Amino acid sequence: MVNKIEIFVEFDFKGETLNPRTTINLDKIMENEGGIYPLIPTLARDNSIDRYSYEFEIMESAPIMVSKAEGMVTDFVNSGEFDQQGFEAAWKRAQDHKIVTSIAEQFFTPDELSQNSNIEEALLVAYRYT
């Protein structure tokens, strides 16, 4: 399942309340960057807000809120706030687990794996030390 969030900020600019929003595919960011970079520049770009404008400066000072979440990231959104560090750590653990599971399945039968859960755990520890 894809991990996506829709983010927005709400702020006043020139007597008008603005509410720019965009959808972010967190899996793509994590795969390409290894971590989630600041999201405000993406939000600005997707809403045609110049990064060198006063509007951008005001937008930067507003808290980023999450209005929609999809995938395991839903576990890291609480009352519209995103636990970015928690998500990044869980995402990395899940990726490690996928790799180790695919390796274990090449060398062990499903019965062997179900009878000895320590096999996957040992492979996971070894994988993290590489």
- Measured between its terminal Cα atoms, the distance across the chain in Å is 27
From residue 114, give the alpha-carbon distance in Å to each of 90, 94, 99.
Answer: 23, 19, 17
| Model confidence pLDDT, tens digit, residues 55-104 | 999 999 999 999 999 999 999 999 999 999 999 999 999 998 888 888 88
Helix or strand or coil: residue 72? helix
pLDDT at res. 73: 97
Taking the C-alpha atoms of residue 94 and residue 114, their distance in angstroms, rounded to an integer, is: 19
Query: β-strands 81-82, 77-78: how paired?
Result: antiparallel
Mean pLDDT of 103-112: 83
pLDDT at res. 26: 97
